[in-house]
Amino acid sequence: MPPLTPPKSGDALFASVDRVNAELFTLTYGAMVRQLLTDLEEVEEVNKQLDQMGYNIGTRLVDEFLAKSNVSRCVDFKETADVIAKLGFKMFLGVTANVTNWDAEGTSCSFVLEDNPLVDFVELPDTCQGLQYCNVLSGVIRGALEMVSMKTEVTWVRDMLRGDDAYEMRVKLIKQVPEEYPYKDD
Ligand code: MYR
């Protein structure tokens, strides 16, 4: 019998396992949103809950991201935004985002997603028009950034589930807390 070689990332088997995992995640998320709609009844409450869940995930995800990506401290918010768009989204969602619409101060920008695996198989019924289905993602960004000392507000300004032409998440830096070191050099 030939030796059993474990599949490597990039092999066809790995690609199909990744696809099945992504689909399973998408379907599980959809089932969870549906359950929240049943339990909480108010769409606004569901929106808040999804954002909070994302925030909690983001506060933990950032460690995994930093460990796996080997990214070191970014010099400014612009660099951080690029790192999230190109590496963060790719690592956890399998797609990249475009960073656009910077304001003059360099403290607000948009992440535009043309492809969003979270919404595969999703169609919102008329009764759910106010639902911010992807709030988990904006919550993740807010939570992750808070762990690297950046307090932000993250909102959705375009959503294909509501008929827009892309997914656009606006990220506004509210406050950057300087790192404090536990001891002083003399
Ligand atoms: C720094 O310390 O300056 C680097 C900051 C990098 C923050 C990266 C946060 C990763 C967030 C993952 C986003 C996942 C989206 C689905």
- Identify the CATH number of the domain in which residue 74 sits: 3.30.1380.20
| Token reading at 155 | 């909102």
Structural domain range at position 42? 12-176
Please state the pTM of the whole predicted model.
Answer: 0.87
Atom 5, ligand 1: which residue's CA is nearest? 80
Looking at the domain assignment, is residue 5 inside a domain? no
Looking at the domain assignment, is residue 51 inside a domain? yes
d(C-alpha 29, C-alpha 136), whole Å: 9
Closest listed residue to residue 117, CA positions, set 140, 138, 137, 88: 137
Atom of ligand 1 nearest to the CA of 91: 14
Atom 2, ligand 1: which residue's CA is nearest? 73
Q: How many domains does the chain have?
A: 1
ipTM over cut 0.90: yes
Looking at the domain assignment, is residue 3 inside a domain? no
Looking at the domain assignment, is residue 140 inside a domain? yes
Reported as a single tens digit per residue, the pLDDT across 106-150 is 999 999 998 999 999 898 888 888 999 999 999 999 999 999 999
Atom 10, ligand 1: which residue's CA is nearest? 88
Q: Is 109 in a helix, a strand, or coil?
A: strand
Looking at the domain assignment, is residue 156 inside a domain? yes
Name residue, tokens 């198989």. Answer: 121
